């Protein structure tokens, strides 16, 4: 740990708790006011992890509202539009999921795609923290979590690894990993639209117009097919197997298996998913860059990108053949690690979202995975870099890996959450 006084740590703990309360909209938490005014899927699961450090009841409530938005087919949408906000685009009307057959009647307005399935991992951690208080609540959530994973395996895992149907599904919106696949999307016929994100944040920290046109084109494409997963898988020009989705689901299945044991439920089906995901992960190994990579399922091409998701295998529970040498190279290239894209790559941009910046939540998963695998020095480096960024630069959405410049939104929920759960000197990693 780098040098931080106990007083400073206490101050930051208080600030992190204040941010979670500030972004609490009553039962669910927004990532940050203005830029992201709704409930996002994996943000919400991280928020629960943060709340668990000081309010277990509120932590369970967060997971409950998240899973209450689950579609009838098992999908948990990446955004739930609880209260309409004109400051965000694309809103519920653009997604047009209201009559999607997979959704089912009477559910909250939502997007039509999902996001990394981290909910079961945090449900397990929160339950373990206080099994007495959590038993009834986790028992009620368990069948929903199983249905969510079953949906992912059926709707996105045709290659063994887990695929995204839209860059937003990976949670790494504009990562260079998708560039080649996105070039195959011709954004013709996109209805005129006005971006709102660039009204909240400097455009040079956000995706480009070329990206945005394709994001919206892919939304229209899904909507025209009634968000039918099979039709989208068969017909979309964009289909990329992704290490983020693959390793987070692998980890979430392991944690769901532990929950099943604790609840006396059968874990046979879950073990089958883990085996399939382990085999699928091998298809993402890129020997040329010596780490995990994304694979365009339309061409079979690996993207050639070293990202922070390249180092999630440890979090996924894998131990053999992990990319420790590549991680050391990245550590040397980025004073604040782990960058979302290799600083040595011509595509690297230190402030542009997922094309370079450091993200606290990715660091938490990489760091915890490293620690579990016994790579203590590497784990300590990731944790210290994260703590230093937050302590010196605040609870920003992301940070420049060279000089630590804070970027994107401020007072950010998941940055506060991983501080409380993991990066703070006072955190008891759940
Ligand atoms: C951005 C991020 C995504 C996150 C969302 C809300 O779209 O790329 O991962 O879930 O913002 O914070």
Is 57 a residue of the active site?
A: no
Which of 301, 261, 265 is closest to 283 using CA atoms? Answer: 301
Cβ neighbours for 430, distance < 8 A, ≥ 6 positions apart: 49, 52, 125, 126, 128, 129, 421
Please work out whether the CB of residue 40 comes within 6 Å of at least one atom of ligand 1: yes
What does the pLDDT look like over 123-173, one tens digit per residue?
A: 999 999 999 989 999 999 999 999 999 999 999 999 999 999 999 999 999
What does the pLDDT look like over 7-26, one tens digit per residue?
A: 999 999 999 999 999 999 99
- Distance CA(343)–CA(332), nearest Å, equals 10
What does the pLDDT look like over 334-348, one tens digit per residue?
A: 999 999 999 999 999
Q: What do you get for the CA distance between the two ends of the chain, in Å?
A: 18
Architecture of domain 6-423: Alpha/alpha barrel (1.50)
Å from CA of 404 to ligand 1 middle: 20
- Atom in ligand 1 nearest the alpha carbon of residue 171: 9
Instruction: Using a pLDDT cut of 90, give the percent of the chain over it.
Output: 98
φ and ψ at residue 317, rounded to 5 degrees? 100, 5
> Mean pLDDT of all residues in the chain?
97
Å from CA of 171 to ligand 1 middle: 6
State which H helix or E strand residue 16 sits in.
Answer: helix 6-22
CA distances, 58 to each of 19, 116, 133, 138, 145 (Å): 14, 22, 12, 13, 19
- Atom in ligand 1 nearest the alpha carbon of residue 78: 10
Å from CA of 35 to ligand 1 middle: 10
- Which residue's alpha carbon is nearest to atom 9 within ligand 1? 171
Which of 19, 29, 31, 115 has the most ligand 1 atoms within 8 A of CB, as the residue to mutate? 31
Both tokens of 409, joined, read 């939104």
- Beta strands per DSSP E along 189-301: 240-241, 285-286, 291-292, 295-296
- Distance CA(406)–CA(399), nearest Å, equals 5
Please work out whether the CB of residue 88 comes within 6 Å of at least one atom of ligand 1: no
Is 428 a residue of the active site?
A: no
What does the pLDDT look like over 268-291, one tens digit per residue?
A: 999 999 999 999 999 999 999 999
* Mean pLDDT within 248-267: 98
pLDDT band at 430 (very low <50, low <70, confident <90, very high): low
Burial class of 424 by CB neighbour count within 10 A (0 to 12, 13 to 18, 19+)? buried
Please work out whether the CB of residue 36 comes within 6 Å of at least one atom of ligand 1: yes
Please work out whether the CB of residue 215 comes within 6 Å of at least one atom of ligand 1: no
Please work out whether the CB of residue 43 comes within 6 Å of at least one atom of ligand 1: yes
Å from CA of 136 to ligand 1 middle: 31
Contact of 183 with 298, CB cutoff 8 Å: no
Å from CA of 353 to ligand 1 middle: 9
Please work out whether the CB of residue 171 comes within 6 Å of at least one atom of ligand 1: yes
> Is residue 1 over pLDDT 90?
no
Please work out whether the CB of residue 173 comes within 6 Å of at least one atom of ligand 1: yes
Q: Which ranges in 264-410 belong to alpha helices (H)? A: 268-282, 313-316, 324-333, 360-372, 376-393
What does the pLDDT look like over 169-185, one tens digit per residue?
A: 999 999 999 999 999 99
- Atom in ligand 1 nearest the alpha carbon of residue 115: 10
Both tokens of 171, joined, read 């949670």
- Which residue's alpha carbon is nearest to atom 4 within ligand 1? 171
Which of 279, 309, 287 is closest to 157 using CA atoms? Answer: 279
Helix axis angle for 268-282 and 131-156, nearest 10°, is 50
- Distance CA(29)–CA(249), nearest Å, equals 22
- Atom in ligand 1 nearest the alpha carbon of residue 412: 12
From 13, 43, 169, 173, active-site residue = 173
> Is residue 202 over pLDDT 90?
yes
Å from CA of 321 to ligand 1 middle: 30
- Atom in ligand 1 nearest the alpha carbon of residue 174: 8
What does the pLDDT look like over 54-76, one tens digit per residue?
A: 999 999 999 999 999 999 999 99
CA atoms within 13 A on the CB side of 182: 23
Q: With b meaning 16 or more CB within 10 Å and e meaning fewer, what string describes 77-110?
A: bbbbbbeebeebebbbeebbbeebebbeeebbbb
Cis peptide before 130 (omega within 30 of 0): no
Which of 46, 78, 173 has the most ligand 1 atoms within 8 A of CB, as the residue to mutate? 173
- Distance CA(166)–CA(31), nearest Å, equals 20
């Amino acid at each position: 740990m780098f040098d931080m006084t106990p007083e400073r740590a206490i101050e930051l703990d208080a600030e992190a708790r204040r941010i979670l309360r500030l972004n609490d909209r009553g039962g669910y938490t927004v990532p940050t006011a203005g830029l992201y005014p709704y409930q996002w899927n994996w943000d919400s699961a991280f928020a629960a992890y943060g709340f668990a450090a000081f309010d277990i009841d509120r932590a369970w409530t967060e997971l409950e509202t998240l899973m209450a938005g689950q579609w009838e087919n098992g999908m948990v949408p990446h955004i739930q539009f609880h209260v309409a906000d004109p400051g965000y685009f694309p809103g519920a009307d653009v997604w047009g999921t209201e009559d999607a057959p997979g959704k089912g009647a009477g559910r909250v307005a939502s997007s039509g795609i999902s996001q990394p399935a981290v909910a079961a991992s945090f449900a397990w951690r929160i339950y373990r923290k206080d099994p007495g208080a959590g038993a009834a609540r986790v028992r009620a959530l368990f069948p929903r979590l199983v249905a969510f994973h079953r949906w992912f395996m059926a709707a996105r895992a045709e290659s063994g690894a887990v695929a995204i149907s839209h860059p937003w599904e990976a949670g790494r919106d504009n990562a260079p990993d998708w560039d080649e696949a996105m070039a195959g999307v011709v954004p013709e016929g996109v209805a005129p639209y006005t971006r709102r994100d660039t009204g909240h944040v400097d455009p040079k920290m956000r995706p480009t117009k070329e990206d945005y046109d394709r994001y919206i084109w892919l939304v229209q494409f899904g909507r025209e097919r009634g968000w039918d997963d099979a039709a989208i898988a068969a017909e979309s020009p964009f289909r990329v197997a992704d290490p983020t989705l693959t390793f987070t689901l692998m980890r979430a299945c392991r944690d769901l298996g532990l929950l099943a044991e604790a609840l006396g439920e059968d874990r046979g089906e879950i073990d089958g998913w883990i085996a399939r995901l382990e085999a699928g992960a091998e298809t993402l190994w890129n020997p040329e860059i010596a780490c995990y990579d994304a694979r365009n399922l339309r061409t079979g091409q690996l993207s050639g990108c070293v990202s922070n998701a390249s180092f999630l295998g440890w979090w996924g529970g894998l131990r053999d053949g992990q990319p420790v040498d590549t991680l050391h190279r990245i550590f040397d290239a980025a004073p604040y690690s782990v960058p979302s894209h290799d600083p040595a790559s011509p595509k690297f941009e230190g402030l542009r979202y997922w094309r370079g910046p450091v993200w606290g939540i990715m660091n938490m998963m990489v760091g915890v995975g490293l620690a579990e695998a016994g790579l203590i020095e590497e784990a300590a480096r990731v944790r210290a870099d994260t703590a230093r960024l937050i302590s010196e630069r605040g609870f920003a959405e992301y940070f420049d890996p060279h000089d630590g410049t804070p970027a994107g939104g401020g007072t950010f929920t998941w940055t506060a959450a991983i501080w409380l759960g993991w990066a703070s000197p006072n955190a008891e990693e759940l």
